């Protein structure tokens, strides 16, 4: 959770000041948040495929087989 206070008080960031400067960078936090959103999107897409909610030519071909 890169936007929480927990992220600010990181053990490794306190141990090595150079790491603290990197992990508190807003661009890195945004990238980590973006990867989390992409991960959630793919998980929901996969869940929709398992539930049979997927549509499109590939899904139609799978149903017809």
Confidence at residue 36, expressed as pLDDT on a 0 to 100 scale: 93
Q: What angle do CA 38, 42, 44 make, to 5 degrees?
A: 115
pTM of the predicted model, to two decimals? 0.60
For residue 60, what are the domain limits?
A: 5-64
pLDDT over 90 percentage in the chain:
25
Q: Among 24, 22, 37, which Cα is nearest to 45's?
A: 37
Residue 12 has pLDDT above 60, yes or no: yes
Per-residue pLDDT tens digits for 15-41: 888 888 888 889 999 999 999 999 999
Task: Give mean pLDDT, residues 44-51.
Answer: 82
Q: Work out how many domains the chain is built from and give that number.
A: 1
Q: What is the largest CA-CA distance in the chain?
A: 59
């Amino acid at each position: 959770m890169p936007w929480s206070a927990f992220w600010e008080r990181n053990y490794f960031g306190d141990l090595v000041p150079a790491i603290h400067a990197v992990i508190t960078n807003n661009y890195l936090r945004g990238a980590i948040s973006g990867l989390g959103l992409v991960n959630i999107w793919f998980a929901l897409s996969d869940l929709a495929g398992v539930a049979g909610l997927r549509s499109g030519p590939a899904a139609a071909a799978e149903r017809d087989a």
